[in-house]
Structure 1
Amino acid sequence: MEMAIFIFWLLFRLITATTDVSLCTCGFRDPRNGAVWTDAIITYANETDRLPADALVSEDFQHAYEKNWNSRYRVGASSKNIGHNESTAPGWTGNAWTLNIDVPKRDHAVVGASIRSLRRDIRYGRFESALGPPKPGVGGSVLAMRLDYNETQTLNLNVMNADDPKDAWTSFMMHGDWRGTRSKGVNFTDFGNSTYNFSSSPWGLVPYRIEWSDKQANFFIGDALARSVSTHDASERWPTTPSTLYLRHSSIGDAYTSEGPPPNGSYAHVGMLRAFFNSSSMSVAEHGAFDTRCRDISRVQCLVTDTLLRGSSPFSNTATIPFKEKSIDYKKRWPAIFVASICISISTVLLAHAFVKRAPWTSKKPAAGTAPSTESSFPLTPSFIFSEGHGLTNAPQTPGYGTPGAVTPGTSTPRVYFSGPVSGYARASSTSLPIGPDSTSTLPIPNRISIGRTDNLDNMVRSSLEIKPARDKNQASAFTELISEKKLSQVTVDEMELSSSAVSKVSRVVPKQVDISKGTITGAKRPISVPKACVDYLAGLVALASVLVTVIHFCLTFLPATEIPYTHTHYESEMWALKIVTPYLLTFSWIGPFFTSSTRFLVATYIKTGNLKGVAEKTVGRTPRLIIPCAALAALEYFCMQVGAIAWLEYLPSVTWSTWPYTSNYVTFGHFIGEVIELMYIIPNAVPQITFNYCIGVLWTIPVQLQNSWTSLLAVIVIREIKAPWKRMSYYAFCILNHWYAMSWGSFFWVGLLIADLDITYKWKTWLYARSWAYYPFIMFVALLALGSPSIDLVSQWTAINFNTLEFGIHPHQRSGHLIRESVDYGYPPYYIPRLTALTFSIGLHLLVELSPLVQKFFSNRILMWLFPHILTLYLIHGLIFWSLGSVVCVKLAAHGVPYWANMLVTAVCTYTIIFGCLPFLTPIIDTLGKSITMNIWRDASEKPAKRRKTLYPFSADMFMDGEKNDTKPVVKSDDVEKDGVSVTTRAL
């Protein structure tokens, strides 16, 4: 009997005998494709309750941040979360390893389980595993088999149960793939179709496989190919570096992939692991020995399909050391570094020299009792982003011609500025005009003047003007005759007397005494009021609104709970800020004053004069004025992306818990051009694609501004032809209501047009100021409108009633024609849809600023006046600073365990210091790209070009064609030009 038992036991052992992979000295051959792998790791969970200590190890860690655009949680792992029990899932018999996930922590740390290979020298191979996803309905998580090197070269297979079981899927990804691309994975509901023909349940333990070579990567479900990627298809660098094999159960709360995390924790199963691969630690001599030894056909290689293989191949300690790429050899780069250093040094010295020469502190102070001097040119004031391109001024102007910007009378140096399309004007040079016979003070004048670009002024154009003292204060003004058809605006010294001795020369100006305090000029033939240079309070309003918009974007990037309801908060104070502060100061209603103020000054010229030239000028110059700077700054950000300056932005969501900031490089340069064209012409309710690549939630306002500018310019032509006041006001009401009902931003522009019309045509402020019985009730009404509109949003923060949602529901649904509340799109309106509260807030605030002296005094403070010329730069540059410097500072401080309140304080100080510090340097560049180019476009479009001359002028062509004559006599040409009845004869010698 005992002998029978022994024979039975011996036969059983012979039947179930396994082969140790260490005996396969000639590697492992894949019979399907003939590939040979030198090493292997094979283990089954139903045969052992412990991880093989010579091959696999459990991990303990907690990440400080994650590299994922949508990761609101951070991955951790603990050895305690790796268990071993019997699995009842389909597709497996016996025990399996369990990888558990704990309940998410308050600081968004999710502790799961991770198993990795001891060997870190894995380079190419075949990797199989039986993976069982977490149960359906417990919360989304990821069970992954990964081959990673430093997050830059990865191959991964991710099994995800998702929050909703019908969304469960398995993805097959490489580095560079967007993790949410469903086409690069298989939904659980498709496992059983004819393509994959998987007979068991996808919720059980499913055999997955990755085959990785130097030319191709294949992903399998069972034996069915699920995805194949070649080196030509890879979007990023092909993975070739030695990697580490991971089996990990984790969750980062990615709404586009796994969702989750599981609120009560969960677990997943791993049944077995079979890995066949090559070792990167083998030397050239070892490879030669292997080839020599295994060339003998008598030596039989093991097959990767042999299910009796167990164990792991022997390896040295070198195989356990993580691979490090070789550092850059700078010896070969020293010549280039040397040349680049010289070029940078020369450029720095030249820029510093120009800055010191042009610095304001180098200007001389004026003598006592005389008008101050200035050597500055015609200042090109940066207009705010939605203005007509030359600042908020009362008088009609041409972009780029001497706009002084925001100036409070009595607080700045008086200057003479010339506005209007004077032909041939350039920036004034340091050539200056003496004020009086005994004065050393000067005023700037243009250094070149041309009238219609006629030939009689060539000599004057080629040289600087020669200025001589005036001998008779009653002399006629020759300079005034030259620009008699042009309008002078923003003149601080109102009356000038110029010499009339010659048309080609301009004598010095002899001004009358100016009394700045009284705003009049004494000693003239009649007292003349000095016009105010700029509507300071409206400039201040726009400047404050621009700053608040940057604060909104800062909060969306770093403190999302202050802007987005139902978002997890770092501190309870963020929730209080959302309920109290946000409706008033951090609301998107602040973009309304941009639009109303834009139209307020866009149409002012035509309302005053009825001259279509002003409309034509803005039609020609408005688009390049905005698009050229936007395209340039977008190109700068794309450059920063490519050099890695914005690389840390992808780590930011796991620290801030905000998924709002996002950047993506353009595919080709053609895509970039297409996105810029979209920015110019796409309808406002369709967000341009550059919004998602360059600056989320920012550039979408550019097409809104441009397209409604055409509406405003056409509307003002119609409005001026409606003479009866009651008809005009009825037309305004009709258009504003229709734009509001159609959910168009045009209602804001019509309001700006109405305010401009009331001010210019009907002088309504004068009428109101003279009637206190009407003024005070009306000012209380607009104040209530300005404060009450955001208060409506405040109510929605404390109650379940949301006025914006209710108001959105009464508008027509574009696809069906029914009300939106009757469609599937009913809900809180998107950010690019105008809201009634934003419209009423803009109306109330704009009218309050227009009518209240107290409010005007607040908005005319020096800080806002200094900021106003820079708001286009602020608008374009703040996102780049937040996402480059801000992301680095925030992530690094979080990694060092700095409390989040201190982190935000340091990040805000650093980013805003850089933003405001770079404004004086970037604004001139923005002006050059926008205003100066726009000025040239308008000049070329409106002025007759100069007469074409031959290249040899003024010499005869015979001098070169007939060498024997040696005729060097210049051509004598006489031109008679008559201007304003004065005949001027010039001879070119």
Structure 2
Amino acid sequence: MAFLYIFFLLLSLSTATTDVASCSCGFLDRTGAIWTDAIIAYGNETDKLPSESLVTEDFQHPYEKNWNARYRAGARSSNLGHNKSTAPGWNGSAWVLNLDRPTKDHTVVGTSLRTVRRDIQYGTFEAVLGPPKPGVGGSILAMRLDYSESQTVNLNVMNADDPDDAWTSFMLYGDWRGTRSKGVNFTDFGNDTYKFGGSPWGFVPYRIDWTASKANFFIGDALARSVSPRHVSKPWPTTPSTLYFRHTSIGDMYTSEGPPPNGSHAHVGLVRAFFNSSLMTWADHDSFDKRCHLARPCLVSDISLRGSSPYGHGATREFKPPSINYKKRWPAIFVASISLAISILLLGHALFKRGPWNKTDESTRTPSQDLSTTPSMIFSEGDGLTYAAQGLGIGTPGQVTPGNSTPSRVHSETAWLENGTSAQTLFDNSRPVTRPGSSALQVPLPPFLSYDSRRSSEITVVNEKKSAKESVDQINEKKQPEVAVKEMETKPTQGANPPIAVPKQRVDYLAGLVALASVLVTLIHFALTFLPATEIPYTHTHYQSEMWALKIVTPYLLTFSWIGPFFTSSTRFLVGNYLKSGNLKNIAEKTVGRTPRLIIPCAAIAALEYFCMQVGAIKWLEYLPSVTWSTWPYTASYVTFGHFLNEIIELMYIIPNAVPQITFNYCIGVLWTIPVQLQNSWLSLLAVMVIREIKTPWKRMGYYAFCIANHWYALSWGSFFWVGLLIADLDITYKWKTWLNNRPVVYYVFITFCTLLAAGSPSIDLVSQWKPWNFNTLESGVHPHQRTGNLIRDTYDYGYPAYYQPRLTALTFSIGFHLLVELSPLVQKFFSNCLLMWLFPHILTLYLIHGLVFWSLGAVICVHLAAHGVPYWANMLVVAICTYTVIFACLPILTPVIETLGKSITTQIWQNASEKPLPRRKTLYPFGPELFKDAESNDTEVRPKGEDVERNDAETGRAL
């Protein structure tokens, strides 16, 4: 620091100067490096910028590349001023970089200086900078070496909204700007590390040393940060750059904060840059070394140096990378084209064959058609019938006579409800159905097979007679069970069982409820991404209508309370079969298949989105916040594949309130419901076993009340799942719908209560939009604080609850709405409409891909339309139409893939876990070992003994 004070003292006394143009052999710096060119200018010696070296800029950015930029920066030449500064650390006048107050459309016009030369490649760069005053609002005074914002070395002096948060950051391209460890707080400038004797609010000397092997940042002479290429994730900056000095503000809450509501100003005292020119070739450098081998270069520390090194016109042009002429590899193109054509043909064929337009009406489908076309029926040869017959309740292995061939397994169809929830129903084939007077065993068809009034199917087990001369081993080797599938005309005859009515697998109105809720959740995420003022209070609005939407529409249609019906309906289907049958096999199947059913599709689509990130499909999302004024959406790719696996495991096992890390990388605010689903699935499966053993109704209901109240008080999502279990129990065990329908007065009173509960819960949130108090905040305060045990309202965490925290209004809304859907025929008819029924099978796909479409296609459209000056209302209309069109068009294509990854693999996992594997066949099957052990027994030609030996000898003799 003594050097700096002597430097300023000599500067004020010195009158003799040296033109840097005379230093033809370069400039020697403190490290021994020699730089060929220089630019030196002092603000206390001239009130105008030296036009040969520095110029002002005029621009207005249409968007900013920053995840948290809610304002767009601009610059105007007239904002550059010059006056005498009274701030400590500087004598005389300095250049003033003014910043205007923000405009209504979120633009902030400041000041920008840059060097005329754009051929700067490595060097040492010094500047004396004075930050804005404390308390005027946050802004950034930056010194940066930049090429097209893709390779930057910069330092940023930020006064922040709160002076205690003021700091200076030292960054390279790829660093997160808010990392405080890569900067120094103003309060630390005077500590033992930096020993800066002046005030950080005055003029502070900074320096950047940039070479091919490192980048060092200095406060005075103290090293503040040193970076080498091995420490950065992005490519090392090597491109010819321009030196900038800018005073801007973009409202980044993690860095500068701001912007200043009434504007502000900053100072630049001097600029000293010593560097190499990228226009010098290797021959020029050799010539320079030979010419200056014995000459003495000028010293960088010489304070009398002034002016700018001579340069040609090419040094003023921005660097453009040379175009690369890619040679077309025709063989590779040909192979890739053939492969692509075959893939498209196969996918198109599969889509055409399995498309919804090819589905036959189940009421007219015959059993033979179902057995031949249903993909869930898997036929194979072997001893599979023995186990399949047991599973269907047909008989035991001793009762089944072996035959030749059989369908080995009959799969029950599984219907799943997804989008933060899942549900499945299994058909119970545990009871055998026999026809009196018939030797065949009649088996109830699986749920995907339909009876009609004229036909039924019988599976007949046929005995195959075996020869008494066969050995026991041969019998065991050859005998196979055989099942003959017959189509028989059935007529109502005395003593014959009537056709079995197959129960409906899917409850349409509950499926419609989940489908509608899934669409509304995507609308919530659309609003959070593009129209944040409709979801987040106190956010700046593009139009006043957004505020009205927040106060009127959001509490009913764009509220996170719509997540609740997912959870209640999930349990409704999860425990239904066990409540009916008490068969623990239903619990076992859910336990085995629940996790892979959800995690495998999530992992696959997450990998797809990470791929899209790495190829640049989501790059425009980083520009989006400056247009939408929403900082909610962002992505961050995983560091290594191990990190990706760790995030998937978190998704499976982490507690819900911890929020899996993939939530912040894959799609913020979406995948956090997966661990909620998984953990409370185990809760539901355990709870239903306990509930079924409580036979006394009042004890059963009391246990429900106790558990729901405790989960609510503990801020657990388990209360929603207990409610779903209660509704399922009332319907399946107590047949309460029949009881209510037989009592109209009670029925209508209860329906009225459910309607008030469903409508009144979001109405509480509506009142909170018009009044200063908030019910969700007050309700959150009565719960215990996990870390301290005190009430939340008595801790520093008291405030509006986080999005992943359950709320009482969401619970009561879920209860009222679910009951209304269960009991009202009118509501059921609405939720059973054909549009929702079409959407229901695709809800998991919708859940997983809508964020990807919003953040790739939606971001591109929104940013570019904004750059062309399209009104924001028209921008949003185009974005909504385009993104939702693509989403719904992708559903029929992606759903079969997701179903294969989730449902089909889960089915195989359950089969492997529950079915006895087929007996291992010998390698020689169907041939016996005697075929090779005893060759003579298989020789059909009778020859005298020894003939083979004589023949072989003769053959050998002829060959010789």
2: CA distance, partners of 1:788 / 1:453 = 61
User: 5 Å matches for 1:646-725?
Assistant: 646-725=618-697
2: CA distance, partners of 1:910 / 1:353 = 27
Specify the SS of the correspondent of 1:194.
Answer: coil
Specify the SS of the correspondent of 1:218.
Answer: strand
Residue 83 of structure 2: aligned partner: 85
Residues 463-514 of structure 1, C-alpha deviations (whole Å, 9 max, x = no match): 99xxxxxxxx999888854x47x86577443761537484735344346699
Residue 327 of structure 1: aligned partner: 323
User: 5 Å matches for 1:457-496?
Assistant: 459-460=405-406, 480-481=441-442, 483=443, 491-493=450-452, 496=456
1: CA distance, partners of 2:370 / 2:919 = 33
Residue 408 of structure 1: aligned partner: none
Structure 2 residue 16 is the aligned partner of structure 1 residue 17? yes
Among 745, 749, 769, the alignment partner of 1:773 is: 745
1: CA distance, partners of 2:90 / 2:13 = 24
Structure 2 residue 26 is the aligned partner of structure 1 residue 27? yes
User: Which structure 1 residue ranges, 5 or more long, are not aligned?
Assistant: 1-11, 381-399, 403-420, 426-445, 465-472, 515-520, 970-989
Structure 2 residue 273 is the aligned partner of structure 1 residue 301? no
Alpha-carbon offset, residue 287 of structure 1: 2.1
Which amino acid is the alignment partner of residue 347 of structure 2? L
Is the 1:28–1:276 Cα contact (8 Å) retained in structure 2?
A: yes
Residue 192 of structure 1: aligned partner: 190
User: 5 Å matches for 1:449-460?
Assistant: 456=402, 459-460=405-406
Is the 2:368–2:487 Cα contact (8 Å) retained in structure 1?
A: no
1: CA distance, partners of 2:846 / 2:292 = 69
User: Which structure 2 residue ranges, 5 or more long, are not aligned?
Assistant: 1-10, 379-383, 411-433, 464-481, 941-960
Is the 2:435–2:497 Cα contact (8 Å) retained in structure 1?
A: no
Alpha-carbon offset, residue 33 of structure 1: 1.5
Alpha-carbon offset, residue 956 of structure 1: 4.3
CA gap 1:794/1:83 in 2 versus in 1, 3 angstroms: same
User: 5 Å matches for 1:564-963?
Assistant: 564-957=536-929
Residue 509 of structure 1: aligned partner: 487
Alpha-carbon offset, residue 179 of structure 1: 0.4
Structure 1 stretch displaced more, 941-950 or 132-141: 941-950
Specify the SS of the correspondent of 1:225.
Answer: strand
Specify the SS of the correspondent of 1:103.
Answer: coil
1: CA distance, partners of 2:504 / 2:188 = 73
2: CA distance, partners of 1:849 / 1:697 = 27
Residues 346-397 of structure 1, C-alpha deviations (whole Å, 9 max, x = no match): 222332333344456568999x9997996797768xxxxxxxxxxxxxxxxx
User: 5 Å matches for 1:141-156?
Assistant: 141-156=139-154
Q: Please give the TM-score of this superposition, normalised by the length of structure 2.
A: 0.87
Residue 204 of structure 1: aligned partner: 202
2: CA distance, partners of 1:378 / 1:828 = 54
2: CA distance, partners of 1:369 / 1:654 = 58
Alpha-carbon offset, residue 285 of structure 1: 3.0
Alpha-carbon offset, residue 953 of structure 1: 2.1
Which amino acid is the alignment partner of residue 526 of structure 2? F
Which amino acid is the alignment partner of residue 161 of structure 2? D
Specify the SS of the correspondent of 1:331.
Answer: coil
Is the 1:453–1:946 Cα contact (8 Å) retained in structure 2?
A: no
Alpha-carbon offset, residue 673 of structure 1: 0.8
2: CA distance, partners of 1:401 / 1:780 = 46
1: CA distance, partners of 2:579 / 2:888 = 37
CA gap 1:662/1:478 in 2 versus in 1, 3 angstroms: farther
Alpha-carbon offset, residue 327 of structure 1: 2.8
Alpha-carbon offset, residue 667 of structure 1: 1.0
Residue 428 of structure 1: aligned partner: none
Is the 2:768–2:775 Cα contact (8 Å) retained in structure 1?
A: yes
Is the 2:436–2:496 Cα contact (8 Å) retained in structure 1?
A: no
Alpha-carbon offset, residue 900 of structure 1: 0.5
CA gap 1:480/1:136 in 2 versus in 1, 3 angstroms: farther
Alpha-carbon offset, residue 522 of structure 1: 14
1: CA distance, partners of 2:194 / 2:523 = 52
Residues 611-644 of structure 1, C-alpha deviations (whole Å, 9 max, x = no match): 1110011011101100111111111111111111
Among 515, 520, 523, the alignment partner of 1:543 is: 515
Residues 415-442 of structure 1, C-alpha deviations (whole Å, 9 max, x = no match): xxxxxx99999xxxxxxxxxxxxxxxxx
User: 5 Å matches for 1:360-375?
Assistant: none
Specify the SS of the correspondent of 2:38.
Answer: strand
Which amino acid is the alignment partner of residue 283 of structure 1? T
Which amino acid is the alignment partner of residue 636 of structure 1? L
Structure 2 residue 244 is the aligned partner of structure 1 residue 246? yes
Specify the SS of the correspondent of 2:658.
Answer: coil
Residues 701-720 of structure 1, C-alpha deviations (whole Å, 9 max, x = no match): 00011101111111111111
Alpha-carbon offset, residue 337 of structure 1: 3.6
Alpha-carbon offset, residue 534 of structure 1: 2.3
Which amino acid is the alignment partner of residue 301 of structure 1? P
2: CA distance, partners of 1:545 / 1:968 = 75
Query: Size of the alignment, in residue pairs?
Result: 879
Residue 132 of structure 1: aligned partner: 130
Is the 1:476–1:498 Cα contact (8 Å) retained in structure 2?
A: no
Among 209, 213, 217, the alignment partner of 2:211 is: 213
Is the 1:474–1:497 Cα contact (8 Å) retained in structure 2?
A: no
Residue 99 of structure 1: aligned partner: 97
CA gap 1:823/1:479 in 2 versus in 1, 3 angstroms: farther
Alpha-carbon offset, residue 677 of structure 1: 0.7
2: CA distance, partners of 1:736 / 1:360 = 41
Alpha-carbon offset, residue 150 of structure 1: 1.3
Is the 2:386–2:400 Cα contact (8 Å) retained in structure 1?
A: no
Alpha-carbon offset, residue 533 of structure 1: 4.2
Specify the SS of the correspondent of 1:917.
Answer: helix
Q: Percent identity over the alignment?
A: 70
Residue 264 of structure 2: aligned partner: 266
Alpha-carbon offset, residue 328 of structure 1: 3.3
CA gap 1:830/1:359 in 2 versus in 1, 3 angstroms: closer
2: CA distance, partners of 1:452 / 1:639 = 55
2: CA distance, partners of 1:376 / 1:355 = 21
CA gap 1:619/1:108 in 2 versus in 1, 3 angstroms: same
1: CA distance, partners of 2:321 / 2:685 = 61
Which amino acid is the alignment partner of residue 60 of structure 1? D
Specify the SS of the correspondent of 2:484.
Answer: coil
Which amino acid is the alignment partner of residue 238 of structure 1? W
Over the aligned positions, Cα root-mean-square deviation in angstroms equals: 3.1
Residue 354 of structure 1: aligned partner: 350
Structure 2 residue 302 is the aligned partner of structure 1 residue 342? no
2: CA distance, partners of 1:960 / 1:455 = 31
Is the 2:858–2:883 Cα contact (8 Å) retained in structure 1?
A: yes
Residues 577-634 of structure 1, C-alpha deviations (whole Å, 9 max, x = no match): 0000000000000000000000011111111111111001101110110011111111
CA gap 1:565/1:454 in 2 versus in 1, 3 angstroms: farther
Which amino acid is the alignment partner of residue 304 of structure 2? L
Alpha-carbon offset, residue 321 of structure 1: 1.1
Is the 1:58–1:79 Cα contact (8 Å) retained in structure 2?
A: yes
1: CA distance, partners of 2:746 / 2:409 = 60
Q: Please give the TM-score of this superposition, normalised by the length of structure 1.
A: 0.84
Is the 2:146–2:152 Cα contact (8 Å) retained in structure 1?
A: yes
Alpha-carbon offset, residue 955 of structure 1: 2.8
User: 5 Å matches for 1:406-485?
Assistant: 456=402, 459-460=405-406, 480-481=441-442, 483=443
